[in-house]
Amino acid sequence: MSESTYNWIWNLIANCWFIGFFFGIWLSPLINDKFGRKIGFISMNAISLLASILRFLAILCYLPELLFLGRLLAAISTAVTYQSLILYLQECSPTSLRGVMSFTSEISYAFMALLGMFLGLDSIFGKNLKLLLGFAVIPSLIALIVLFPMPETPKFLYIVKKDPKLATKSIKFYHGKSSDAQSVLHEIALEAEAESQSNSSIKEIFTTPYLRKAVLLSCLALQNTVALWAILLSSTDFLKHANLKEDIAEWSSTGMALAYVIGTILGSTCIEKYGRRPMILIFSTANTASLLLYVIFAALQPLMDFLQYGCLLCFLFYGFTYGFGVGPIVWYLSCELVPQRHRSLVQSLCYAINTIMVVISTFTILPLFSVIKAYAFLALYVIPSCFSLVILFSQLPETKGREIHEIVAELRGKQQPKISVLNNEI
């Protein structure tokens, strides 16, 4: 195999992730809305298990085509399962615990990212691709086994399947046997009655003012996540340009991932105490400030050599603040701003827009960095984030401890109607 052929195949395998993930984003509402969150979760975890096996066999048998297929399937399944998980946590949790339960998705994601980096070290599995890729089979299999006994979400059962009895059983399973299922169903009924029974559509989302506003606010909040991928993937290069020692720079991504994990754990203890709005605004501002300080420190480093360590601290602080109050919240924000009927499609729309922004910035940052150095962060991340923060400060509602129908009523600019109808079939 020639070097050019090898590079072409490697680039295809590396970049097919974005294609698969983008496809999976739009596959999610088709599966989750038609068949349910549980079916979407289980079916895509099965695909994830298959993808893990294919990638392991690809290395074992030296088949790059199999590695490409496995990575593509993994990307598709990841996009669907991540959205299914958010929907599950949002629709199963008691209102008072909805935030902290949704936080667990980011905690698990951050921990798995750190574990992946750790296992990829040369001293662990980094020099043995068979063990590195084969290890992924274990968590995929465990996840699939755990999911089978879990019931469907009560909101899907009540609103879509119109089965109050199964919805009650689901509430008892997730909220506990001593929970007041009648009260929970009453709130679900209020959310259902505020909407028509037809399927959601892109046209309806963009022509309905409150849905359009929900998409805008969610996308602006997600804008503050765009820089994460570029920093995780290329922090070593950025820090080398600041003349940081190579061995320290190479550990920066692992250090960021560790700070990210610590941030998510600590943030989960604060979300129900302080609320979504203040945490998003405060920590997104801190996130943006850390990138701005990196630009300043990198520009001044030739004059003050010790600022190379300031650049490193900026990235570590970015990882911590991202985990504490940005990433865990903004990824589920769209689910708290719209009714159940629109939730999956709005979620997919916001994730798709964010993925496009991530791809553009990730492929732009290194060429731009080579031309204007650290100032590239201003154009790609700092200025867009500042713009988003201004609008979020003005328009973002608080969602902590509130039922979805109350939040929707605020976005509509209406007083919450006094509806008190509950199906007597229970």
| 308-322 pLDDT tens trace | 999 999 999 999 999
d(CA 287, CA 284): 5
d(CA 300, CA 205): 47
Residue 91 pLDDT: 95
Which residue is associated with the tokens 């066999």?
Answer: 57
Please state the rounded mean pLDDT for residues 185-207: 84
In tens, the pLDDT along 137-156 reads 999 999 999 999 999 999 99
pLDDT > 80? residue 422: no
The CATH number of 8-150, from 1.10.287.130, 1.20.1250.20, 3.30.310.50, 3.40.50.170, is 1.20.1250.20
Nearest to 264 by CA among 245, 283, 286, 238: 283
Are the CB atoms for 213 and 407 separated by under 8 Å? Answer: no
d(CA 271, CA 329): 9
Domain ranges in the chain are: 8-150, 204-413
Residue 188 pLDDT: 92
195 pLDDT band, cuts 50/70/90, is low
Q: Which residues contact 119 (CB under 8 A, 6 or more apart)?
A: 125, 126, 132, 135
The amino acid at 32? N
Please state the rounded mean pLDDT for residues 330-344: 94
pLDDT > 90? residue 361: yes
Are the CB atoms for 114 and 124 separated by under 8 Å? Answer: no
Half-sphere exposure for 207 (CA within 13 Å, toward CB)? 5
Q: What is the mean pLDDT of the chain?
A: 92
Residue 423 pLDDT: 39
Please state the rounded mean pLDDT for residues 297-306: 96
Q: How many CB atoms lie within 10 A of CB 46?
A: 15
The yes-or-no answer to whether 8-150 and 204-413 have a common fold is yes
The CATH number of 204-413, from 1.10.3720.10, 3.90.550.10, 3.40.190.10, 1.20.1250.20, is 1.20.1250.20
DSSP one-letter code for 96: G
DSSP one-letter code for 153: P
Residue 251 has φ and ψ, to the nearest 5°, of: -90, 0
Percent of the chain at pLDDT above 90? Answer: 82
Please state whether 230 falls in left (phi above 0), alpha (psi between -120 and 50) or beta.
alpha
